Amino acid sequence: MAYVVAVTMVREWINGLDTLVGPGRPLSRGAFRQMPRSPADGAYAVLSRIGRASDLVAEDTIDSPRISASIYAGTDEAAELAAVAYCNALDALRGAPSAMGDARCLVVEDIVGPLYVEDSDQEHRYLVDASFFLI
């Protein structure tokens, strides 16, 4: 199997979506690989690879990383809005292959979330997990 640097590719894809990221957009600060040092106003996502989905096909050229997005914002409403917008962006990839960095995403499946996680007094967090099938 050909493994890819999936977190980097998904992060680049998210940050390139002008309907999702940027001033006045639901995920205004974009996606990161690790927590930003000094979070400013606006929602942001922290991505991590949490495993691998089962094979989509018998071919060994497809990597199937499972990516978890922790979506943070200062209010519950802003965090939920960003998480739902991210889920809708993922859902739009079903049946619509898309470039992600140096790879091509064939489909996104098994979207789980948004799930509220109560773990901070300062920021609200929702989790969204999904399996990406990349070649």
Gap between the Cα atoms of 24 and 39, Å rounded: 16
2-58 pLDDT, tens per residue?
777 889 999 999 999 999 999 999 999 999 999 887 666 889 999 999 977 665 555
Angstrom CA distances, 46 to 39, 57, 73, 102, 132, stand at 12, 29, 12, 21, 16
Q: What's the whole-model pTM score?
A: 0.88
Q: Which domains does the chain have, with CATH numbers?
A: 6-134 (3.30.2000)
Q: Are residues 20 and 89 in contact, defined by beta-carbon separation less than 8 angstroms?
A: yes
Gap between the Cα atoms of 14 and 19, Å rounded: 10
